[in-house]
């Protein structure tokens, strides 16, 4: 199997998401991590690469040095793409530099801090033609892909309402004041951005909702609350949504729900039926037809759509979860890049991943949510075309 030479910016000592990216990429068997700038501390960055098998000469002290060093190598040795797994405030400068160098990018979410930055990346990537993926990893679950194919295939009829709820409890107390590095940067406006829970998990909820339904968000009525004293950003969000065509929605992003872990759920209600998917039990999908018995679709079943079947790693009856879903994003990236190299058409059931456009739309969604919450009028236009036209 052809493997891609890959680099990473961020994901060093104490980071959560960097390890997830590395495990997910490794699970595909199609990536070799050969270079990295893993920490903002040059010495820690250089030291961190060696246990990962990265050569000392390619464990760089900064991302700038990494980009310069890799571009100086012959094309058959330099990296063929990079994963950006830094805190949010570094996504834009790093992604911009690597994209300008025509290197494929896999960037964690939310994409950047502003629509202006997102629009700039869109212009750059349109010019270079390079691949750019954003790791909204929940779209990698087989049963999410099955839900998408059912909804977009008309099985539920005309969509009337969508409800996506994302509840966590890990920020129910002020962890950012207790030495928790993840809480520290995620609640800091300078590093996290203009939103807290909305940016961190609400962006996942928006992407899941849009990916499955294909609906276009028209307007938002948002209420953002900061419950924990001394916290600078929202830790709870309640949104009413209106879609073009008349459908309605509810989106909740809450990080102060004591005792809840990663309680993400999606429900879609149509004229001919409804469905429900829950991230903590991700291997089945419940469908409720208007005129028939409840159905439970299970991961690995031969009755699933080709895309859902292609996203399964092991036979039915064996549970899959978070890492495998994440790996499907990387698998889609690899299939796309390798098909380009080999001059063939990619397998479109495999070559699926959230794009730069998805990431830019997510930034727009965050901004419009914050705007609505601050407005006395509340209902705020959220049409995506406002960014791209």
What ranges do the domains of the chain cover? 4-137+351-355, 142-314+361-373
**Residue with structure tokens 């939103």?**
195
Note the pLDDT of residue 384: 83
Q: Which tokens hold the place of 215?
A: 């609906």
Q: Identify the pLDDT of residue 378.
A: 86
CATH topology of domain 142-314+361-373: Dihydrodipicolinate Reductase; domain 2 (3.30.360)
Weakly modelled stretches of the chain, pLDDT under 70:
386-389
At 175, list the tokens.
């962890």
CA–CA gap between residue 21 and residue 160 (Å, rounded):
36
Q: In degrees, to the nearest 5, what angle opens at C-alpha 381 toward C-alphas 378 and 385?
A: 160
Report the distance separating Cα 285 and Cα 229, nearest Å. 39
The string over 350-383, giving b where at least 16 C-beta atoms fall within 10 Å of a residue's C-beta and e elsewhere, is bbbbbebbbbbbbbbbbbbbbbbbeeeeeebebe
Q: What pLDDT is stored for residue 376 in this prediction?
A: 87
CA distance 168 to 171: 8
Indicate the pTM of the whole model: 0.96
- Tell me what pLDDT residue 320 has: 93
What integer pLDDT is reported at residue 389 of this predicted model?
42
Instruction: Give the per-residue pLDDT at 377.
Output: 86
Token duo for residue 333: 């990236």
Question: What is the CA 286 to chain-centroid distance, rounded?
Answer: 24
Nearest to 329 by CA among 86, 144, 87, 89: 144
CATH number corresponding to 4-137+351-355: 3.40.50.720
Q: Fold match between 4-137+351-355 and 142-314+361-373?
A: no
């Amino acid at each position: 199997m052809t493997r891609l030479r890959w680099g990473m910016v961020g994901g060093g000592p104490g980071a959560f998401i960097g390890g997830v990216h590395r495990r997910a990429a490794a699970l595909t068997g199609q990536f070799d991590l050969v270079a990295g700038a893993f920490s903002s501390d040059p010495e820690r960055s250089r030291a961190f690469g060696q246990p990962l098998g990265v050569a000392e000469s390619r464990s760089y002290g900064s991302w700038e040095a990494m980009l310069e060093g890799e571009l100086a190598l012959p094309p058959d040795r330099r990296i063929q793409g990079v994963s950006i797994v830094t805190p949010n405030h570094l996504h834009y400068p790093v992604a911009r530099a690597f994209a300008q160098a025509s290197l494929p990018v896999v960037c964690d979410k939310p994409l950047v801090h502003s629509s202006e930055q997102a629009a700039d990346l869109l212009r750059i990537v349109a010019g270079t033609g390079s691949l750019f993926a954003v790791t909204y990893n929940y779209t990698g679950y087989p049963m999410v892909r099955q839900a998408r194919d059912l909804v977009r295939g008309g099985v539920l009829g005309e969509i009337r309402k969508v409800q996506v709820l994302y509840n966590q409890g890990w920020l129910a107390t002020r962890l950012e004041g207790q030495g928790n590095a993840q809480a520290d940067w995620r609640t800091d406006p300078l590093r996290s951005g203009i939103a807290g829970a909305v940016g961190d998990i609400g962006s996942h909820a928006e992407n899941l909702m849009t990916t499955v339904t294909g609906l276009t968000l028209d307007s938002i009525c948002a209420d953002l609350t900061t419950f924990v004293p001394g916290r600078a950003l929202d830790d709870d969000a309640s949104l009413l949504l209106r879609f073009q065509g008349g459908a309605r929605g509810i989106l909740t992003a809450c990080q102060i729900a004591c005792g809840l872990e990663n309680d993400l759920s999606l429900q879609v209600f149509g004229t001919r039926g409804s469905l429900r998917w829950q991230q903590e039990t991700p291997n089945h999908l419940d469908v409720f037809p208007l005129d028939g018995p409840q159905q439970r679709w299970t991961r690995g079943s031969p009755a699933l759509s080709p895309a859902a079947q292609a996203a399964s790693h092991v036979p039915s009856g064996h549970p899959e979860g978070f890492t495998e879903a994440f790996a499907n994003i990387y698998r889609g990236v690899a299939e796309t890049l390798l098909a380009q190299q080999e001059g063939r058409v990619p397998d479109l059931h495999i070559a699926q991943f959230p794009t730069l456009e998805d990431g830019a739309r997510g930034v727009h969604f965050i901004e419009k949510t914050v705007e609505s919450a601050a407005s006395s009028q509340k209902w705020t236009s959220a049409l995506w075309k406002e960014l791209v036209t």
